[in-house]
């Protein structure tokens, strides 16, 4: 197995984008067996990519195909001595560090993957509270700070009044009068709104705490770096929603899975579906 680190190149000149501004392109280096779906883009500047190719497997396949052609070439009356098929040259990767095309050891490859994964985890971790605050602002924007503070003692008065409708509950009674409703109606609204507020707040804090704990407990396995990368990329299904899908030649509405990255806060989506 060969482990590679490289940049894209100019399609005409073949020069790395890290060296010169491209005139045309972008293009990938000529890497036999490169599976673009498995290429990993690193969070670096200039942009580097990681990949691995099994050159031994490619050469084995090449020889097997050659041997199959040789075996299939039988003498005939018209061609009693068929021309021999030359054995193909083995595939060899030509690395060029001066053009930002490097061969890595397995340990170097694992370190690159680890830095890539941990950098993204740290970026998510460092932004979690900012993401949470923005979402809280959108959910609780109708509550002024003074209203939130007042809600605490109004909630206590509402509970007191429901337990005993002869309780003073002066603020509760004053608000009920201003709203044109009975103190009992007002008390039930306050309790309902306050408990809804607390449930939303608890759910937001719980989601944030779960993802933060998950990020902080992530451990990169240097002995199996690709398993750690796969774990980092894992998506989890957190619910279903109605969606249009193409089925039997037509668009139909069906329940579709709602998925999010396992290590992403994705607070708005998680709050709605978890």
> Is residue 208, in this structure, part of any structural domain at all?
yes
Handedness of CA 164, 170, 171, 177 (dihedral sign): positive
Beta carbons of 49 and 16 less than 8 angstroms apart: no
pLDDT at position 149 is 63
Rounded-to-integer distance, Cα 252 and Cα 44, Å: 42
Residues 123 and 214 in one domain: yes
Residues 99 and 135 in one domain: no
Report how many domains make up the chain: 2
Residues 126 and 219 in one domain: yes
pLDDT at position 135 is 94
pLDDT at position 147 is 58
> Within the chain, where are the H helices?
55-72, 106-139, 145-163, 170-179, 183-216, 225-232, 267-273
Q: What is the pLDDT of residues 239-259, one digit of tens each?
A: 999 888 888 888 888 999 999
> Is residue 35, in this structure, part of any structural domain at all?
yes
Q: What is the pLDDT of residues 63-107, one digit of tens each?
A: 999 999 888 887 777 777 878 889 999 999 999 999 999 999 999
Residues 122 and 217 in one domain: yes
> Is residue 170, in this structure, part of any structural domain at all?
yes
Rounded-to-integer distance, Cα 83 and Cα 95, Å: 35
- Highest mean pLDDT among 15-24, 25-34, 56-65, 137-146 belongs to 56-65
In which domain, by residue range, is 130 found? 118-233
Residues 97 and 127 in one domain: no
Residues 91 and 31 in one domain: yes
Q: What is the pLDDT of residues 152-171, one digit of tens each?
A: 888 899 999 999 999 999 99
pTM across the whole model: 0.76
Structure tokens at 238: 């957190």
Residues 93 and 171 in one domain: no
What residue has token string 């959108």?
A: 138
> Is residue 167, in this structure, part of any structural domain at all?
yes
> Is residue 270, in this structure, part of any structural domain at all?
no
Q: Region 229-238: what's the mean pLDDT?
A: 95
Residues 89 and 183 in one domain: no
Query: Which of the four pLDDT bands, split at 50, 70 and 90, describes residue 26?
Result: confident
Please state, rounded to an integer, the average pLDDT across all residues of the chain.
90
> Is residue 113, in this structure, part of any structural domain at all?
no
Number of Cβ atoms within 10 Å of the Cβ of 112: 20
Residues 168 and 66 in one domain: no
Residues 148 and 224 in one domain: yes
> Is residue 240, in this structure, part of any structural domain at all?
no
> Is residue 90, in this structure, part of any structural domain at all?
yes
Domain boundary residue among 200, 218, 233? Answer: 233
Residues 72 and 162 in one domain: no
Residues 100 and 124 in one domain: no
Look at residue 230 and tell me whether its pLDDT is greater than 80: yes
């Amino acid at each position: 197995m060969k482990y590679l680190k490289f940049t894209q190149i100019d399609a005409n000149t073949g020069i790395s984008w890290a060296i010169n501004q491209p005139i045309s392109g972008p293009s990938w280096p000529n890497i036999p067996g490169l599976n673009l779906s498995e290429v990993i883009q690193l969070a670096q500047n200039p942009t580097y990519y990681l990949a691995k190719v099994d050159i031994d497997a490619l050469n084995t396949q090449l020889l097997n195909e050659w041997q199959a052609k040789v075996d299939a070439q039988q003498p005939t009356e018209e061609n009693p001595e068929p021309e021999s098929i030359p054995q193909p040259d083995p595939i060899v990767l030509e690395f060029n560090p001066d053009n930002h095309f490097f061969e890595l050891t397995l340990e170097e490859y694992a370190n690159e993957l680890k830095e890539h994964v941990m950098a993204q985890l740290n970026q998510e971790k460092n932004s979690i509270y900012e993401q949470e605050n923005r979402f809280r602002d959108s959910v609780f924007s109708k509550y002024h700070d003074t209203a939130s503070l007042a809600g605490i003692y109004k909630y206590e008065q509402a509970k007191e009044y429901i337990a005993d409708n002869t309780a003073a509950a002066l603020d509760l009674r004053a608000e009920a009068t201003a709203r044109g409703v009975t103190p009992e109606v007002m008390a039930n609204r306050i309790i309902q709104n306050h408990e809804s507020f607390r449930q939303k707040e608890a759910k937001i804090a719980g989601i944030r705490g779960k993802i933060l704990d998950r990020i902080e407990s992530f451990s990169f396995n240097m002995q199996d770096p690709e398993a750690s990368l796969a774990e980092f990329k894992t998506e989890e299904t957190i619910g279903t929603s109605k969606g249009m899908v193409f089925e039997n030649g037509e668009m139909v509405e069906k329940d579709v899975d709602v998925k999010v990255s396992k290590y992403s806060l994705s607070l708005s989506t998680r709050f709605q579906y978890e």
